[in-house]
Structures are given as C-alpha cells and as structure tokens.
Amino acid sequence: MISLSWYLGLSALLFTIGAIGVIIKRNVITIFLCIELMLNAVNLSFVSLSSYFKEISGQLFVFIVMTVAAAEAAVGLAIIISIFRNRASLNVDEADNLKM
C-alpha cells in the first residue's frame, strides 16, 4: 500500500508543471493544454483522498470536474478559432487589446 503523501506529491508536481507551462508558454493552444494538465493533477488528488477516506464524494467531484473541463475545452477552442481568424496568430502577446 502506497502512502497518501506520494500521490499528493505527484499531484502537486504535475500541477506545478502545468502552472509553469501557463506562465512560460506563448502559444495559446499549449497554454490550454497546460490548464488541462492542472485540472488532471487536481483530479488525482481528489481521487487519492477519496480512496484514503473511503468516501465516494471525491470521485463524484472528479466526474463534475471532467464535465466542466469538456465544456471549457469546447468554448475555449471556439474562442481560439475566432482569435486566429481575426489576427492570424496564436501568440497570446499579440492579443492585448484589453491591456491598459
């Protein structure tokens, strides 16, 4: 039996890699992929805590998180398509109309 801390440590590591990706990457699709990675890292900690406490609610949270991730991917990719149509570029630094 593996202790809970290993799973939580792996989850934290994956979340950190995703957060670093969101910060350092300039391609909007790669940023989106890193957000999916962060969601998945959180799912891993939900499932490991659910298994540790023998409580099924954690797995139901993962179910809801996956649904929200699917909705987010659909809307986000539609936004990416319309940004690309207007600017012909996927670089987030060029989409700065709302910047002060």
Partner 1 sequence: MEKVLFIIFAVVAVLSALNILLQRSPLYSALSLIGTLASVSALFVMLNAQFIAAIQIVVYAGAIMVLFVFVIMLLNEPKGVPHIDKQRGLRFLAIPFAGLLLAEAFYVVSSVQLQQPATLSKVENPDQAFGTTWSIGTALYTHYLLPFEVTSVLILMAVVGAMVLARRDGD
Q: Which of 5, 8, 33, 96 binds partner 1 (CB under 8 A)?
A: 33
Q: What is the dihedral of CA 34, 35, 37, 42, to 10 degrees?
A: 150
Identify the DSSP state of 54. Answer: T
Nearest approach, Cβ of 67 to partner 1 (angstroms)?
5
57-73 core/surface letters (b: 16 or more CB in 10 A; e: else)? ebeebbeeeeeebeeee
Q: Which residues bind partner 1 (CB under 8 A)?
A: 1-2, 6-7, 10, 13-14, 17-18, 20-21, 24-25, 27, 29-30, 32-34, 36-37, 40, 43-44, 47-48, 50-51, 54, 56-57, 59-60, 62-64, 66-75, 77-82, 84-85, 90
